[in-house]
Amino acid sequence: MNTAFLQTPIDYLKGVGPNRADLLRKELNIHTFQDLLNLFPNRYIDRTRYYKINQIQQSNAEIQVIGVIKNFKEVAQKRGKRLVATFQDETGTMELVWFRGHKWIKDSLKLNTPYVIFGKTNWFNGKFSMPHPDIETTEDHKNGLNNGIQPIYPSTEKLTNKGISNRVVSKVVQQLFLETKGRFTETLSNELISDVKLISKSEALLNIHFPKNQELLAKAQLRLKFEELFFIQLQLIIKNLIHKTKIKGFTFNKVGTYFNTFFNNHLPFELTNAQKRVLKEIRADLGSNAQMNRLLQGDVGSGKTIVAFMCMLMAIDNGFQACLMAPTEILSVQHYNGLLEWCKKLNINIEILTGSTKTSNRKTIHKDLESGDLQILIGTHALLEDKVKFKNLGLAIIDEQHRFGVAQRKKLWDKGISNPPHILVMTATPIPRTLAMSVYGDLDISVIDELPPGRQAIKTVHRFDKNRLNVFKFIKDEIKKGRQVYVVYPLIQESEKMDYKDLMDGYESISRDFPMPEYQISIVHGKMKPADKDYEMQRFAKGETQIMVATTVIEVGVNVPNASVMIIESAERFGLSQLHQLRGRVGRGAEQSYCILMTGHKLSDDSKTRLNTMVKTNDGFEIAEVDLKLRGPGDVMGTQQSGVLNLRIADIVKDKDVLQHARYYAKKVLKEDPSLSHPNNVNILNTYKALSKYKNIWNYIS
């Protein structure tokens, strides 16, 4: 079928017309024949079975029966009348009931003519009845496309109110199939179709809308899911290949004095095998002449920062500057403080730039950056300001990538002088493999999947509010051993007053149970001035206070190895990734650490799943998989990235096997034919070219 024909506006399809077209555009975003073709049903009703009247059960299921109408009668009721028909087959009789449209129904239906009726049955006065049945002659039923499994299409209240029922949509789709004769352009190669054992495109489209049986429906769904995911993967992999061949990076030829001095004399602990592997992968990128674009995943406390610092040292050894951008001031300060000691030992000039940096300091930083005297700059979004100019930025590291958008990454690119800097994106929020393959498929991915030696797994327990006295006793025992404790309250933007009250109530009750001078308590929340927050954080970090009461401002950032207990209040109000991040604030020293999840008794099923997952595992990737199942890809990715995954038919959680298959074959096709110029791949190439023009993958897949 000519693809241009499918771009015809929906107004021109028989049975649509301007009014319906307008509604379909507004309500379902259907502008063209193509859009209608890709309005896939979201469920199906199996109409392959016909019941006899004496087989009907009191089950409220939708069923179909063949029989004839013997007579009509009108029955008075409280408001108006109802029309009742006696419907009969060879095994018995039932009633058909209509509460409106009497005259039209009486005129359109004939007595003693075989009809197929379909609908839900009610048991009333010792007889089955079917209100407002779908009804068609057996002849029309045989000739219709959907006499097997019936599609139920997405709809809205407005469409239903304006008379555009599921039946109308189904009829319009049938009309489209008649006009196209059900023939559509193939998008995959014959080789791929036979390797993956898929049905053809035309067969798949016919059976997604009007499946003849369950088996053909399953084959149609598999074919269309594979195709959707295959072209997404193809795009991402091609983007990565183009990146590597077209975008030149600075070549870091040597591992020099700074790197070797640090590695031999100042490394605070033996690197894990995972850290060594990741460093090797990054070194290979930096040594090639392509720009590095790599995602570094590692669980909380797995040692990403030291890997990042060693990459910075490679940049400095090769005469370049490096920068590290973090999403919050707290996190930037922590990175700066952590790296400052090492930089002093190596005589490296390092500075920090955030929103609260004084103007006089800013001027010095800007001057030293441009002259090249400043070798490492740590900071927040402040690094993206136009005034911030580097002499020769060679490496840009972005921490907690999901907090930044693509536009911000692009701004950092533009800070490079002749070439863009190498980009290393870090995240402590493990991304499930399926999501990483779909959203970050154009980045190379490295994973640190091993904790440093000597770290013990954090013990996590769930306790109800009634156990609070026991929990407080446990805290006192830990403080006696010289340890410190976090108590975290939820923060939900819409209700800052309520959260503040929660926090202050909690602070007061803890102050009563842990009185001064025996105990010292710090408090940190979003309403405090940065300087006050810092002061309280520092007191806790120095061990001057034993308990830190805080909102989630401490989710990322504070590193206090002596803190061994994390208490999360109203834990049911937190998401899984947040709970995991908060738990990662403890367990940073050699001592056994604990995470206690406090909740009330009323818990939803999702809350129970989250709490059980936390108690059961410390593995961030396992937690991320559960989170993805509970929340779906859009929520997990956050607003910056979720647009990538507006999928029509595939579901990256349920269809992860199809996704892995699709990625494998996309790589295979490109490995054998990188430019897709082989005659076998002409369908794939044409579809890929069309895809490049459109944002929505389904505008061209047909």
The pLDDT tens digits for 263-275 are 999 988 889 999 9
- List average pLDDT for each run of 10 residues in the chain, which is 702 residues long: 80 90 91 92 84 84 90 87 93 92 86 92 86 89 73 89 87 92 92 96 93 88 94 87 82 91 90 93 90 86 89 95 88 88 94 90 93 94 89 90 65 78 85 71 81 82 92 94 91 54 82 91 82 84 90 66 91 88 83 92 90 90 82 53 62 82 93 93 91 58 41
Cα–Cα dist 499/503, whole Å: 6
**Distance of alpha carbon 524 from alpha carbon 206, whole angstroms:** 61
End-to-end CA distance of the chain: 8
How many residues are there in the chain?
702
What's phi and psi for 614, nearest 5 deg? -60, -40
Q: Of 205, 339, 166, 191, give the one whose Cα is nearest residue 266.
A: 339
- Report DSSP state, residue 80: S
The pLDDT score that the predictor gives to residue 702 is 36
Angle at 398 between CA 636 and CA 524, to 5 degrees: 70
Distances in Å between the Cα of 156 and the Cα atoms of 43, 153, 165, 648 are 15, 10, 10, 17
Q: How far apart are CA 141 and CA 155, in angstroms?
A: 24
Residues 6 or more apart in contact with residue 262 via CB below 8 angstroms: 309, 310, 313, 342, 345, 346
Q: Write down the pLDDT at residue 628.
A: 79
Rounded-to-integer distance, Cα 468 and Cα 518, Å: 20
Q: Residue 410: left (phi > 0), alpha (psi -120 to 50), or beta?
A: alpha
Q: How many CB atoms lie within 10 A of CB 406?
A: 9
Q: How far apart are CA 187 and CA 698, in angstroms?
A: 12
How many CA atoms within 13 Å lie on the side-chain side of 367?
Answer: 6
**Do 278 and 414 meet the contact criterion of CB atoms below 8 Å apart?**
no
Q: At which residue do the structure tokens 């199942």 appear?
A: 629
What is the pairing mode between strands 422-427 and 547-550? Answer: unpaired
Q: Mention every residue, 6+ apart, whose C-beta is less than 8 A from residue 229.
A: 438, 650, 652, 655, 658, 659, 662, 663
Q: How far lies 481's CA from each of 9, 461, 566, in Å?
A: 75, 20, 16
pTM of the prediction? Answer: 0.67
Element (H, E) at 426: strand 422-427
- Which pLDDT value is given to residue 308? 94
Instruction: Give the model's pLDDT for residue 208.
Output: 93
> What's 677's DSSP letter?
-
